[in-house]
Amino acid sequence: MLALLGGSKCTVSLFTLMIFFIKVSSLRFLIFNNNLLVLNTLYFRANIMKCPRNVRHVKKGVPGCHVTVPKRRHMGGRKSSRSRGAVTAVSCSMDSDDENVEEVVEGPLDEDGQPHGFCTVTYSSSDRFEGHFTHGEKNGKGKFFFFDGSTLEGFYVDDALQGQGVYTYEDGGVLNGTYVDGELNGPAQEFDGEGHLVFKGQYKGNNRCGECWVYYPDRGCVFGEVNEDGEMTGDSVAYIYPDGRTALYGSFVDGELIEAQLAAVISNQTGRPRFEISPNSPVYSYDKSTSTCIATHTLLPDPYESQRVFVADSTIRGAGQGLFAKTDAEANTVMAFYNGVRITHSEVDSRDWALNGNTISLDEDTVIDVPQPFGQTDRYCASLGHKANHSFIPNCKYDPFVHPRFGPIKCIRTLRAVQKDEELTVAYGYDHQPTGKNGPEAPDWYKRELEAFEQRGGAPTGQ
């Protein structure tokens, strides 16, 4: 089967402005990224202008005047994470009390020329703040608009963000947090640009603390108590599969599985899960494939997958074995996983179609392949997604998945409800109209099946 699918107080001088506003905060923190990656940015943004003014107005008392402000210390720190999806650590700090930054104030000023009332303050960086001031200090509802398109909105008391604050990323993602004196302290949730929950937990002094949930786009998640660095590290952490009932419970480092056992998830009335380890459960560990090793334990099945699918002779003539539902499943259910060795697209393109029977594109760089003899379940059954056959009217699709054991792979997800014992099929996604070619870029058997299907008046779906 071949599937090539395709934050501290400060102000800054003009002299150092270009350096300072190379913004360390434009990087969005990702799943398992150490919280300091974004929290120091939010702390600065919540506290920007939080210092005595001692301003010198170019046009005193006139709304829209230029204001020169002594620069104070600002720190925007970033701490790296070893976890999957983490970004590179960067940091920025400036220390000087005798240099100045220019800004424009639009709105009423008090007798000392300080913003007083509802004002708009625009900084040389093109960031701006709109909100209420009392003698130069932010007091009341206010909102920062940053030059990258992100915003920070909340209620200010004596120049510090207090209570609920909403940071909106340039891509539409949102962090809803609780601020105390400009620092994240208390419950917080983060959502991606599509509104999916990606983090839920607590903060203390801008650090994640206590029990936290981190969610993957595929709806798997990791739950546990973070360490003093805000990392999901410890001996009582769990990866929970998308069904919310099946888990791998044990040792994790920065969200990455070290050793864990199969466990059932049991939630109490407060929503805090507890885990019951299955008797005689094998030990699972992180086992990402390479170009030459498909898995360390090739005959250790995935426990979630084992509950949902089995391999048997296909109902499609000449297709050999196929993948079947072991139980009824609703639409959008993850049924199986597609792990394999990781090779390049050029390697796939340079070899005969006969060697590409179990290949699938993971991303623009990597292809997952289940080469012989691992196509047989007696040699490899750690994942079974490669057993799904093609259909021009499939009931499933390939989707990205971050697996606790295999790392980034593909999964098979239902397009509609399926019944117990129903064969699971996917559209292999060959290009039917490749540039410069007269027909599909696909193996001969696929071309024959496509021709027959079109002769019957069919229109392929799921491509």
CB burial string 92-103: b at 16+ within 10 A, e below: bebeeeebbbeb
Q: Which of 74, 116, 132, 390 is catalytic?
A: 390
Is 430 among the catalytic positions? no
* Preceding omega of 301 cis (within 30 degrees of 0): no
Q: Which of 241, 428, 430, 446 is catalytic?
A: 428
Q: Output the six-digit token pair for 379.
A: 């040699």
Query: Residue 457: exposed, middle, or buried by beta-carbon count in 10 A (0-12, 13-18, 19+)?
Result: exposed
Is 390 among the catalytic positions? yes
Nearest Cα neighbor of 411 from 265, 286, 296, 302 is 302
Judged by DSSP in three states, 57 sits in strand
Q: Which of 156, 179, 239, 338 is catalytic?
A: 338
Spatial CB neighbours of 208, under 8 Å, sequence gap ≥ 6: 35, 201, 202, 226, 230
Q: Which of 156, 203, 398, 446 is catalytic?
A: 398
Q: Which of 386, 403, 430, 446 is catalytic?
A: 386
Is 398 among the catalytic positions? yes
Judged by DSSP in three states, 131 sits in strand
Please state, in angstroms and rounded to a whole number, the distance separating the CA atoms of residues 420 and 90. Answer: 51
CB burial string 7-40: b at 16+ within 10 A, e below: bbbbbbbeeebeebbebbbebbbbbbbbbbbbbb
CB burial string 194-208: b at 16+ within 10 A, e below: eeeebbbbbbeebbb
Is 386 among the catalytic positions? yes
Q: Which residues are catalytic?
A: 338, 386, 390, 398, 428
